[in-house]
């Protein structure tokens, strides 16, 4: 199997599996489990296939072009360290899948769980195999995202939602910092390729930007690995299902930060800054985590804090700037993954079979669950560092490093103290749960779990024992590979052995063991009292600080800023926008100066000048009447629009004129539709006269309006009196037919040269239409405009007076001629739409104009025939139109990929059609049809949504008549 295939499938398989799992039925528990397990095992097999190469010290590498223009490649790269991590991710992943199959309840949507788990696994594989810094940051954020989904899997509980939110906020913020840091490193090195970066350690360390880069990268790593002061998210993430905790918090998510530190160790470590930041964070985390863990009453809480503490230990090792410490760190990453995963699973079994995780309620489970008890005992002993288990060996290495670090006496002491604490909490876990009297009133009668649920724990515990007894023979070669891939030639000599003779680390171990036992016995009374929280530092709760900061940022600060800067008055907003535009335009003109244009002035045609006078009168009249006579204002606005349209025609822009005209018509209809819901007439100013303040405000607004209008006019004049030497239009004109296959340059620009913009615009248009629809669904008219309009009441009353007439006869009579005419016109207008659509590529027209024409045809039927009649005869499904349009436009763009061309390339040819002859056809026409469908759907959706308000209003009216109290209009 080739390297690239192997690496690519290792990353892609989990994602494909996730996709497949998400398509399974909600309760297909077994199918999803088999799928997930199969994918995890296949991943493990792939990792194993790579072993022969890796064991020779080789590096698997695969490159795929990503953004070749920027020199960015999608690089997958597997060396010893990545191999070890990939093995851990897939191996423990497979065990977790087996465990989760039995842990998850049948009521849960299990396929979704496995889909998230697999996607997370894929993100992890992508992360550890990344051979490129940007790609690494990408997968990093992806792990944050999928861990968010996994932690929040039981989203019906508040704790899960909170835990997921906190975890995402902390780790994703850290991820952003990391991204910035990695970009800095990329800037320093001049490449984002990991191999290049790893080879330029001195350049990075001696660069002035080293410190900012280091701090940013470490912010990412320390938040992810839950180091003090960012550790608080991890305990809250325990609201996740236990398999998730076992996976995320033993082997994967929290180890990612450590992985990154190990990965960048050769290039970033070795400085005082690294020592102080990483070492201090690790030291504090190690001690505080272990201390707090002792006082947790929740089994998973205890394990969470012990995880934090162990992560602190590894971080501290990494911070010591010693090669041996790095080896010890990698070793402990492995050991911690095995014993912590098994302990989480054991805690989950206890919770699953007894119904509680509270140590205060549990006791004496050894009698009912003897086998699980033995397994947990061994794993906890490994965690405490009891000899002949894997935790002991890495702890010995840690002690040795702590002793040999630069004469700091505090380090060995703290190491010993934290170790004693870990003995205490391990004892508490085992003794509190499995020993003592029989448990009283547990939610469930405890019993042994199904054999397969225990199976993953057995495997992991066996691993703990084997590594503990025969370290060099079992884990030795793998550890060596990983260490060698990081340190290369500098890998120091180390010996993995259980017995190194009586030396200081052994003495320290014994003291810690003894001290831990003594401490546990001394604390018995305190722990039994059941007080929540650790003594001394109870008030130091990270979460509270975090929540307070969030409340400040997202609520108080936002509120205050809104109060200072924001306003809900449209006039003020408009004023601000105009003033800002004036200031920006004025500054630009003042800064750069405006000279006369380079075009020769021409005489003004008196006809167009007259038309413009008329248009200006329309615009002024519209502004004048806008407040007290909206109906007239709308019409005057329409007149101004028409003058603009004539102007476009005059200056040879038929496309623009066409579009302008159609938009004008649709806008007028839209405004009149809205007019129905506005109160009839605002009060005229009273007889007392206008106040001075009002007058001054109006004068100021008038001045702003005049300035803005004049500025706009000046801008238009300045642009139109000059033409740059190398106009982009020349380029379009020259290429429209040869490359786009159309003679209408405007349309070729829209559907070919700038088709990507058009694609974006139609998506925006679709989103806007959906938003308008959604907002109007909740629209409640003002009480004064709810009732049926006056005219309709009069006409109904007239019908009611005459016994020979039925209700609605008057309107039917009056609308007889218009309705016949509009029905006759419907096909004509539709033909116009098709005409505009089909010839758009060569002559004025196109999908947008055609779509507007078609929607006008439909609106006309709605207006004259009424909503009920029209929907009975002509069922328009706007959402289908929109969906079809988007799919078609996007699909045409994608289709060009199949022919090896870039996205949205147009194909152009002449087609021989029977009876019609040779017809120029371009694939852009299909794109244009997509635009057409979308425009029809979006316009009709918005107008119908507005129109249905009336229908709904009538219904409410009737309901109000039958039941006078129910005045609220109902939902459609």
Q: How would you classify residue 599: left for phi > 0, otherwise alpha for psi between -120 and 50, otherwise beta? A: beta
Instruction: Tell me whether residue 330 or residue 618 sits nearer to other proteins (CB atom).
Output: 618
Answer yes or no whether residue 574 interacts with other proteins by CB under 8 A. no
Cα–Cα distances in Å, from 374 out to 244, 486, 635, 836?
23, 37, 87, 80
Contact 147, 47 (CB under 8 A): no
Half-sphere exposure of 744 (CA within 13 A, CB side): 24
CB of 748 to other proteins, least distance (A): 17
214 in Cβ contact with 269 (< 8 Å)? no
Q: Does 673 bind other proteins (CB under 8 A)?
A: yes
Residue 685 engages other proteins in binding (rule: CB under 8 A): no
Regarding 905 and contact with other proteins (CB under 8 A), the answer is no
Taking CB under 8 A as the rule, does residue 76 contact other proteins? no
Q: Could you give the string, one character per residue 113-132, with x where binding to other proteins holds by CB under 8 A and - elsewhere?
A: --------------------
Q: Does 950 bind other proteins (CB under 8 A)?
A: yes
- Only one of the segments 56-64, 229-237, 520-528, 782-790 lies at the binding site for other proteins (rule: CB under 8 A); that segment is 782-790
User: Is 614 a residue that touches other proteins (CB under 8 A)?
Assistant: yes
Select the span of 79-87, 645-653, 723-731, 882-890 touching other proteins (CB under 8 A).
645-653
**Residue 581 token pair:** 């535009």
SS3 193: strand
Piece of the chain touching other proteins by CB under 8 A; list 140-148, 617-625, 752-760, 924-932: 617-625
* Pick 404 or 843: Cβ nearer other proteins: 843
- Tell me if 942 contacts other proteins by CB under 8 A: no
Measured CA to CA in angstroms, residue 377 lies from 255, 317, 617, 653, 929 at distances of 24, 27, 91, 84, 69
Size of the site for other proteins (CB under 8 A): 68
Q: Which residue has the tokens 């009441």?
A: 793
Answer whether 932's CB lies under 8 Å from 885's CB: yes
Structure tokens at 550: 């969030």
Stretch that binds other proteins, among 329-337, 527-535, 591-599, 821-829 (CB under 8 A): 821-829
Choose, by CB under 8 A, the member of 53, 792, 884, 921 that binds other proteins: 792
Are 97 and 113 in contact, with CB atoms under 8 Å apart?
A: no
Residue 610 binding other proteins, by CB under 8 A: yes
Residue from 617, 705, 718, 770 in contact with other proteins (CB under 8 A): 617
Distance CA 571, CA 568 (A): 9
Q: Which position has the token pair 């191996």?
A: 91
Which one of 385-393, 751-759, 811-819, 924-932 is the stretch in contact with other proteins (CB under 8 A)?
811-819
Closest to other proteins by CB, 47 vs 947, is 947
For 502, other C-beta atoms within 10 Å of its C-beta total: 9
Binder among 353, 480, 664, 928 for other proteins (CB under 8 A):
664
Kindly tell me which residue out of 1, 675, 874, 913 binds other proteins, with binding defined by CB under 8 A. 675
DSSP string, 552-576: IIIIIIHHHHHHHH--S-HHHHHHH
The least CB distance from residue 632 to other proteins, in Å, is 6
Site string for other proteins, 695-714 (x = CB under 8 A): --------------------
Q: How far is the CB of 969 from other proteins (least distance, A)?
A: 15
Dihedral pair phi/psi, residue 530, rounded to 5° = 75, 20
Under a CB-based contact definition with an 8 Å cutoff, are residues 677 and 785 in contact? yes
Q: Helices (DSSP H) in 529-629: which residue ranges?
A: 542-551, 558-565, 570-592, 606-625
Measuring CA to CA, which residue among 573, 779, 772 is closest to residue 670? 772
Q: Which is nearer to other proteins, 370 or 818 (CB)?
A: 818
Of 735 and 835, which has the nearer Cβ to other proteins? 835
Residue 834 binds other proteins (CB under 8 A): no
Q: Which of 788, 877, 897, 919 binds other proteins (CB under 8 A)?
A: 788
Residue of the chain from 150, 204, 482, 665 that contacts other proteins (CB under 8 A) = 665
What is the closest distance, in whole angstroms, from the C-beta atom of residue 878 to other proteins in the complex?
15
In angstroms, what is the minimal distance from the CB of 687 to other proteins?
A: 23
Out of 288, 646, 837, 935, the residue judged to bind other proteins by CB under 8 A: 646
Nearest to 317 by CA among 252, 234, 411: 411
CA distance 308 to 313: 9
Contact status: 770 vs other proteins (CB under 8 A): no
Residue in this structure with the two tokens 């938040």, named with its chain if needed: 223
The three state secondary structure string of 125-140 is HHHHHECEHHHHHHHH
Please, which residue, 530 or 818, has the CB nearer to other proteins?
818
Binder of other proteins out of 149, 258, 327, 860 (CB under 8 A) = 860
Q: Applying CB under 8 A, does 853 fall inside the site for other proteins?
A: yes
Binding residue for other proteins (CB under 8 A) from 31, 472, 632, 704? 632
First-to-last C-alpha distance (Å) of the chain: 59
Site for other proteins in 177-196 (CB under 8 A): none
What tokens appear for 267 in the block?
A: 């290039």
Among 642, 746, 765, 940, interactor with other proteins by CB under 8 A = 642
Q: Which stretch binds other proteins (CB under 8 A): 242-250, 591-599, 689-697, 817-825?
A: 817-825
Task: Considering only the stretches 260-268, 327-335, 732-740, 783-791, report the one whose residues sit in contact with other proteins under the rule CB under 8 A.
Answer: 783-791
**Cα 705 to Cα 161, 237, 621, 709, 940, distances in angstroms:** 50, 56, 14, 6, 34
- The neighbouring-strand residues paired with 74 are 64
Nearer to other proteins, 375 or 748 (CB): 748
Q: Is 3 within 8 Å of 79 (Cβ atoms)? A: no
- Angle between helices 451-469 and 390-404 in degrees, nearest 10: 40
789 Cβ contact list (under 8 Å, min separation 6) = 676
Quick one: tokens of 958? Answer: 């009737």
Give the DSSP letter of residue 65.
Answer: E
Is residue 819 at the binding interface for other proteins, with CB under 8 A as the rule?
no
- Could you check whether the bond before residue 229 is cis, i.e. omega within 30 degrees of 0? yes
143 or 810: whose CB is closer to other proteins? Answer: 810
* Residue 668 in contact with other proteins, rule: CB under 8 A: yes
Q: Is 270 in the site for other proteins (CB under 8 A)?
A: no
Q: What is the DSSP string of 875-908?
A: ---HHHHHHHHHHHHHHHHHHHHHTTPPTT---E
Please report which helix (H) or strand (E) contains residue 66, including its range.
Answer: strand 60-67
Comparison of 482 and 946: residue with beta carbon closer to other proteins:
946
Which of the stretches 303-311, 383-391, 728-736, 818-826 binds other proteins when contact is defined by CB under 8 A? 818-826
Question: Least distance from C-beta 641 to other proteins, angstroms?
Answer: 10
Q: Which one among 639, 741, 893, 930 touches other proteins, defined by CB under 8 A?
A: 639
Report the nearest approach of other proteins to the CB of residue 877 (Å): 18
State yes or no: residue 828 binds other proteins (CB under 8 A): yes
> How many other β-carbons are positioned within 10 Å of the β-carbon of residue 809?
15
| Cβ-based neighbour number of residue 339 at 10 Å | 28
Q: Which of residues 91, 163, 866, 893 is near other proteins by CB under 8 A?
A: 866
Q: Binder to other proteins among 844, 878, 885, 969 (CB under 8 A)?
A: 844
CA–CA separation, 334 vs 155, rounded Å? 32
DSSP H or E run through 67 = strand 60-67
Residue the block writes with tokens 């300035």: 707
Q: What residue ranges bind other proteins (CB under 8 A)? A: 606-607, 610-611, 613-614, 617-618, 621, 625, 631-632, 634-636, 638-639, 642-643, 645-646, 649-650, 654, 657-658, 661-662, 664-665, 668-669, 672-673, 675-676, 788-792, 795, 811, 814, 818, 822, 825, 828-829, 832, 843-844, 853, 856, 859-860, 862-864, 866-868, 943, 946-947, 950-951, 954
């Amino acid at each position: 199997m080739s390297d690239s295939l192997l690496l690519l499938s290792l990353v892609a398989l989990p994602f494909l599996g996730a996709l497949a799992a998400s398509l399974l039925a909600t309760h297909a528990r077994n199918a999803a489990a088999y799928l997930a397990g199969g994918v995890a095992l296949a991943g493990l097999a792939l990792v194993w296939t790579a072993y022969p190469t890796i064991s020779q010290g080789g590096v698997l590498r695969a490159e795929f072009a990503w953004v070749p223009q920027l020199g960015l490649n999608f690089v997958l790269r597997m060396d010893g360290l990545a191999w070890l991590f990939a093995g851990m991710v897939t191996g423990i992943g497979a065990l977790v899948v087996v465990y989760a199959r039995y842990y998850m309840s049948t009521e849960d949507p299990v396929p979704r769980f496995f889909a998230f788990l697999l996607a997370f696994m894929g993100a992890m594989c992508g992360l550890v195999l990344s051979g490129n810094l940007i790609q690494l940051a990408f997968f990093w954020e992806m792990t944050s995202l999928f861990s968010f989904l996994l932690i929040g899997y039981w989203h019906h509980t508040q704790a899960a939602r909170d835990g997921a939110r906190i975890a995402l906020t902390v780790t994703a913020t850290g991820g952003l910092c990391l991204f910035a840091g990695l970009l800095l490193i990329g800037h320093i090195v001049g490449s984002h390729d990991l191999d290049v970066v790893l080879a330029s350690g001195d350049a990075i360390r001696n660069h002035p930007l080293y410190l900012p880069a280091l701090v940013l990268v470490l912010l990412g790593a320390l938040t992810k690995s839950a180091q003090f002061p960012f550790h608080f998210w991890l305990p809250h993430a325990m609201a996740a299902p236990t398999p998730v905790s076992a996976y995320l918090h033993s082997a994967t998510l929290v180890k990612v930060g450590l992985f990154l530190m190990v990965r960048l160790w050769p290039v970033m470590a070795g400085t005082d800054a690294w020592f102080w930041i990483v070492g201090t964070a690790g030291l504090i985390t190690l001690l505080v985590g272990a201390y707090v863990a002792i006082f947790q009453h929740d089994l998973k809480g205890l394990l969470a804090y012990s995880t934090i503490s162990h992560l602190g230990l590894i971080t501290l090792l990494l911070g010591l700037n010693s090669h041996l410490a790095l080896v010890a760190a990698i070793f402990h990453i492995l050991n911690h993954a095995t014993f912590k995963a098994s302990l989480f699973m054991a805690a989950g079994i206890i919770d699953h079979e007894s119904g509680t995780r509270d140590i205060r309620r549990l006791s004496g489970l050894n009698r009912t669950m003897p086998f699980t008890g033995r397994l947990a005992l061994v794993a906890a002993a490994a965690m405490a560092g009891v000899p002949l288990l894997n935790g002991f060996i890495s702890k010995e290495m840690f002690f040795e490093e702590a002793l040999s670090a630069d004469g700091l006496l505090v380090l060995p002491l703290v190491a010993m103290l934290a170790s004693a604490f870990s003995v205490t909490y391990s004892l508490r876990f085992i003794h509190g749960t499995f020993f003592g009297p029989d448990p009283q009133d547990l939610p469930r009668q405890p019993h042994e779990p199904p054999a397969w649920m225990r199976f993953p724990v057995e495997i992991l515990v066996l691993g703990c024992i084997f590594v503990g007894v025969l370290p060099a023979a079992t884990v030795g070669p793998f550890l060596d590979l990983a260490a060698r891939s990081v340190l290369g030639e500098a890998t120091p000599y180390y010996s993995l052995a259980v017995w190194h003779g009586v030396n200081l680390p052994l003495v320290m171990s014994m003291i810690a063991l003894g001290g831990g036992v003594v401490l546990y016995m001394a604390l018995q009374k305190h722990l039994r009292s059941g007080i929540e929280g650790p003594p001394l530092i109870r008030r130091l709760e990270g979460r509270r600080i975090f929540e307070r900061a969030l409340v400040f940022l997202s609520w108080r600060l936002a509120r205050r800023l809104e109060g200072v800067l924001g306003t809900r008055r449209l006039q003020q907003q408009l004023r601000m926008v105009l003033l800002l535009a004036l200031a920006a335009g004025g500054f630009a003109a003042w800064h750069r100066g405006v000279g006369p244009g380079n075009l020769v002035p021409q005489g003004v045609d008196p006809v167009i000048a007259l038309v413009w006078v008329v248009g200006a009168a329309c615009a002024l009249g519209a502004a004048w009447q806008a407040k007290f006579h909206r109906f007239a204002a709308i019409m005057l606005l329409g007149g101004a629009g028409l003058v603009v349209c004539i102007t476009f025609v005059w200056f040879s822009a038929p496309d623009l004129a066409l579009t302008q005209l159609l938009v004008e018509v649709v806008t007028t209809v839209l405004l009149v539709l809205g007019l129905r819901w506005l109160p009839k007439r605002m009060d005229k100013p009273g007889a007392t006269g206008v106040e001075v303040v009002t007058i001054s405000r109006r004068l100021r607004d008038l001045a702003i309006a005049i300035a803005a209008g004049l500025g706009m006019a000046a801008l238009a004049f300045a642009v139109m009196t000059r033409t740059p030497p190398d106009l982009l239009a020349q380029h379009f004109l020259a290429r429209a037919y040869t490359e786009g296959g159309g003679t209408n340059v405007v349309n070729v620009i829209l559907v070919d040269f700038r088709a990507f913009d058009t694609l974006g615009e139609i998506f925006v248009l679709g989103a806007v239409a959906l938003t308008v629809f959604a907002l109007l669904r909740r629209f409640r008219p003002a009480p004064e405009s709810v009732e049926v309009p006056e005219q309709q009441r009069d006409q109904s009353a007239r019908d009611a007076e005459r016994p020979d007439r039925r209700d609605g006869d008057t309107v039917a009579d009056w609308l007889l001629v218009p309705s016949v005419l509009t029905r006759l016109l419907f096909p004509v207008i539709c033909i116009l739409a098709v005409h505009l659509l089909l010839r758009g590529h060569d002559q004025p027209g196109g999908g947008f104009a055609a779509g507007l024409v078609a929607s006008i045809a439909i609106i006309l039927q709605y207006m004259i025939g009424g909503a009920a009649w029209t929907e009975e005869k002509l069922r328009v499904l706007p959402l289908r139109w929109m969906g079809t349009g988007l799919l078609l436009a996007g699909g045409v763009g994608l289709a060009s990929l199949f022919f090896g061309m870039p996205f949205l390339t147009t194909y152009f040819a002449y087609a021989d059609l029977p009876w019609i002859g040779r017809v120029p056809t371009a694939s852009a026409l299909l794109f244009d049809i997509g635009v057409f469908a979308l425009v029809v759907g979006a316009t009709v959706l918005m107008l119908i949504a507005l129109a249905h308000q009336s229908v709904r209003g009538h219904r409410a009216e009737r309901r109000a008549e039958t039941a006078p109290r129910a005045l609220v209009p109902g939902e459609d």
